A and B are shown apart, each in its own frame.
Chain A
Amino acid sequence: MLQLLQLIVSGAAIGCIYALIALGFVLIYKATETVNFAQGDLMMIGGFIGLSAMTVIGLPFALAFIATIAAMALVGMGTERLVLRPLLGQPAFTVVMITIGLGYLARGVVTMIPYWGTETHTLPVPWKDEVIWIGGEGSGLVVSVEHLVIILATVALVALLYVFFRYTRLGIAMQATSQNQLAAFYMGIPVRRVNMLVWGLSAAICGVAGLLLAPITFVHANMGFVGLKAFPAAVVGGFGSIPGALVGGLVIGIVESLAGFYLPEGFKDIAAYVVVLVMLVVKPNGLFGENLTKKV
């Protein structure tokens, strides 16, 4: 029983990372109807920026955290402005291809930057390798602080996003844009600028995910492949639903953690994909997805 709980906690922590990346996808998908296959690579860049801020410049973690978020927001907005806006109105496949290309490019470029390179780096976070015992030292549930931080940070970030979307002008404008671009445009919302900001927001969330994940998996050029598991998370939750992305991420994380323990070796890595295939066959719209049909 204790073991099960243990697995669920560590699964939930990884699930939170998937959820954050999936959240990034969903935000962009909802607002601009483009699917960003480079989301995981954005996370990787975030991890590297945080690393450089801490080790090269020597900032304390809190400042490095803020610097990463700011830098990632700029990266996201720049990508939208330079690469995606010229493709407005092109078929979805074009955009899918360009984001795949950007991800491929990012993995190549990162290995060529001095100091970043092909090696694996450790992010020196303050809570490295610490654990907390819940319910008695040596007998209760052991939770590593890294996992706890991930879960708490995700909860805080989601609460912040909720407030942002519910109460701020920009958040409401983003919601309006994602519901109907044309109507939003008629209401005087600068749709293009809002889309750019959505990309910035999404990239910033990925930056946070990168910093949170870094203590567990280390920072390296192929870190972004974790982002591919966020697709199953987004689909399970229903693509285009923000609470769905969170629930989907948690489901995938916990299933993966349990599969790693109870099933033979090798199942852990594909558990997420098996879940998504089953989901697509049983309920393609996901847990929280709306039923969409195309009309002419």
Chain B
Amino acid sequence: MHFLFKTRYEQDIALFKHGGQRFWYAALAVALLAAPWLLSEYTLSQITFIGIYAIVCLGLMLLAGFTGQVSLGHAGFLAMGAYTEAYLQANGWPFVISLPLAALVAGITGVMIGLPALRVKGLYLSIATLAFGFILEQAVVSTEAITGGNAGMQLGKLVIAGIDFDDGSNFYYLVTFIAVLCVLGVVNLLRSPTGRAFVAIRDSEVSAQSMGINLAHYKTVAFALSAALAGIAGALYAHKIRFITPDQFGFLQSIELLMMVVIGGLGSIQGAIFGPAFWFVVQQLIVTGKDWLPEALGQQTGLQPTIFGIILVAIVLFEPLGLYGRWLKFRTFLEIFPFYRKGMFRRQKSYMKSERMK
């Protein structure tokens, strides 16, 4: 194992901590660039989906994992982005303008939902977002003139500067590029005072407030950014699916997004990518594994929710840091090979913290 001997303060906030990280991330970048040549079209399309979901999860991670605010209506923001993009494209706006606009519209919705957050917190906030998600879904159904209602909305070809981006590998590059930009943006944000304020709010609202952090302001900013990221993902999702209907953005979608984030590992950027990646891989395994299972079990529609439900419950019970936490443990185990002890990552037990002190 190598010890990081810090000699400058800048090292504390460096994007890459040491040469090893630089090497592995460069290798990942090369692999991402080479993927269209190595993988089949279907696999590439699945990876594109992972990229899109990684952007939403990144937003949700910022909100749930770093600011500590649970959102049960994130599919609503996804819908805002998707429908803004579809509407603008139908009216002839170029993608380079409509994508930021989709993010903006979703972000503004995020502020609107964040505003009640100035008054309510914790549980009430999750219920507010839950209510918002349902209302938005219904709003999409009701505004038929713009959204096509339950009949859905078809998207046109995505062409930027004369290049056809509906083509599998081009679209893959587009999504990967935007996803990498979003990751870098969030990583940078978390190094800034704003990001530090988010983490402080997550860890203790009372102490954050006493350190001079304006809770209402930062929570609203967190909501806006999170929603904007969901909006970007929504726009890409709309182009990927090419046909959007309100029921794609229902309550279950919100729940599944939250599950992805928790499975990936709350409080880590990597988790926001591990989560959707794991989700899609397992989904694929279930689809392939179905034929091997006995008929009575394999053909059940409930198989997938059951498996994901079990995974989620197991993760929350046994691995609160999610897949990223598991990876951390494994890496530590390798780094200090014979000296890994069982209790190194033990969860600290705390007394029940009551929210209702009088």
Q: Are A294 and B310 in contact (CB under 8 A)?
A: no
B349 contacts chain A at the CB level, 8 A cutoff: yes
Report chain A residues within 8 Å CB of B308: 104, 108
B100 contacts chain A at the CB level, 8 A cutoff: no
Report chain A residues within 8 Å CB of B317: 83, 86-87, 98
B135 contacts chain A at the CB level, 8 A cutoff: yes
Known: A111-B302, A294-B206. A228 touches B258 (CB 8 A): no
Report chain A residues within 8 Å CB of B131: 232, 272-274, 276-277
A44 contacts chain B at the CB level, 8 A cutoff: no
From DSSP, what is the main secondary structure of chain B's interface residues? helix
- Shortest B66–chain A CB gap in Å is 12
Compute how far the CA of A86 lies from the CA of B49 in the bound complex, rounded to whole angstroms. Answer: 35
29 pairs, A vs B, C-beta closer than 8 Å? A83-B313, A87-B317, A88-B352, A89-B350, A89-B351, A90-B347, A97-B262, A98-B316, A105-B306, A105-B310, A105-B312, A106-B309, A108-B304, A111-B302, A112-B297, A112-B303, A112-B306, A181-B352, A266-B141, A269-B138, A272-B131, A273-B132, A277-B132, A280-B119, A280-B120, A280-B124, A280-B128, A293-B357, A294-B355
- Shortest B262–chain A CB gap in Å is 5
Identify B352's interface contact among A33, A35, A264, A290, CB under 8 A: A33
Compute how far the CA of A221 lies from the CA of B309 in the bound complex, rounded to whole angstroms. Answer: 15
Report chain B residues within 8 Å CB of A243: none
Q: Are A235 and B124 in contact (CB under 8 A)?
A: yes
Report chain A residues within 8 Å CB of B304: 108
Q: Are A105 and B305 in contact (CB under 8 A)?
A: yes
Known: A96-B126, A280-B116, A284-B119. A104 touches B134 (CB 8 A): no
Q: Are A109 and B306 in contact (CB under 8 A)?
A: yes
B123 contacts chain A at the CB level, 8 A cutoff: yes
B314, closest chain A residue (CB)? A101
Known: A111-B301, A280-B120. A96 touches B70 (CB 8 A): yes
**0 or 1 for each of B110-134: is its CB under 8 Å from A? (1 = yes):** 0000001001101110111011101
A149 contacts chain B at the CB level, 8 A cutoff: no
- A-B complex: 8 closest residue pairs judged by Cβ atoms: A105-B309, A108-B305, A111-B302, A273-B131, A108-B306, A101-B312, A108-B302, A112-B302
Q: How large is the interface on B (under 10, 10 to 19, 20 to 34, 35 or more residues)?
A: 35 or more
Q: Are A112 and B130 in contact (CB under 8 A)?
A: no
Q: Are B128 and A105 in contact (CB under 8 A)?
A: no
Compute how far the CA of A270 lies from the CA of B251 in the bound complex, rounded to whole angstroms. Answer: 13
- Shortest A181–chain B CB gap in Å is 7
- Shortest B158–chain A CB gap in Å is 31
Q: Are A281 and B305 in contact (CB under 8 A)?
A: no
**0 or 1 for each of B47-79: is its CB under 8 Å from A? (1 = yes):** 000000000000000001000101000000000
B346 contacts chain A at the CB level, 8 A cutoff: no
Known: A92-B122, A266-B141. A97 touches B316 (CB 8 A): yes
B357, closest chain A residue (CB)? A295
User: 9 extra interchain contacts, Cβ-Cβ under 8 A, other than A90-B347, A94-B316, A102-B313?
Assistant: A89-B351, A92-B355, A97-B258, A104-B312, A108-B308, A231-B130, A273-B135, A280-B116, A293-B357
- Shortest A42–chain B CB gap in Å is 15
Report chain A residues within 8 Å CB of B88: none
Compute how far the CA of A263 lies from the CA of B131 in the bound complex, rounded to whole angstroms. Answer: 19
- Shortest B172–chain A CB gap in Å is 30
Compute how far the CA of A90 lies from the CA of B312 in the bound complex, rounded to whole angstroms. Answer: 16
Q: Are B127 and A232 in contact (CB under 8 A)?
A: yes
B288 contacts chain A at the CB level, 8 A cutoff: no
Identify B313's interface contact among A105, A112, A264, CB under 8 A: A105
Report chain B residues within 8 Å CB of A267: 138
CB interface residues, A 12-53, toward B, < 8 Å: 33, 35
Q: Are B70 and A110 in contact (CB under 8 A)?
A: no
- Shortest B343–chain A CB gap in Å is 17
- Shortest B176–chain A CB gap in Å is 29
**0 or 1 for each of A71-108: is its CB under 8 Å from B? (1 = yes):** 00000000000010011111111101110111011111
Q: Are A292 and B313 in contact (CB under 8 A)?
A: no
Q: Are A112 and B310 in contact (CB under 8 A)?
A: no
Q: Are A92 and B127 in contact (CB under 8 A)?
A: no
Q: Are A292 and B355 in contact (CB under 8 A)?
A: yes
Report chain B residues within 8 Å CB of A35: 123
Known: A112-B300, A118-B301, A276-B131. A101 touches B313 (CB 8 A): yes
Compute how far the CA of A285 lies from the CA of B153 in the bound complex, rounded to whole angstroms. Answer: 40
Of A97, A232, A293, the most chain B CB neighbours within 10 A belong to A97
Identify A104's interface contact among B132, B206, B266, B305, CB under 8 A: B305
- Shortest B67–chain A CB gap in Å is 11
Compute how far the CA of A107 lies from the CA of B358 in the bound complex, rounded to whole angstroms. Answer: 38
- Shortest A228–chain B CB gap in Å is 7
A267, closest chain B residue (CB)? B138
**0 or 1 for each of B246-264: is its CB under 8 Å from A? (1 = yes):** 0000010001001100100
B354 contacts chain A at the CB level, 8 A cutoff: yes
Compute how far the CA of A228 lies from the CA of B251 in the bound complex, rounded to whole angstroms. Answer: 10
Report chain B residues within 8 Å CB of A281: 116, 119
B6 contacts chain A at the CB level, 8 A cutoff: no
A225 contacts chain B at the CB level, 8 A cutoff: yes
B206, closest chain A residue (CB)? A296
Compute how far the CA of A231 lies from the CA of B73 in the bound complex, rounded to whole angstroms. Answer: 14
A199 contacts chain B at the CB level, 8 A cutoff: no
A232, closest chain B residue (CB)? B131
- Shortest A118–chain B CB gap in Å is 6
Q: Are A100 and B255 in contact (CB under 8 A)?
A: yes
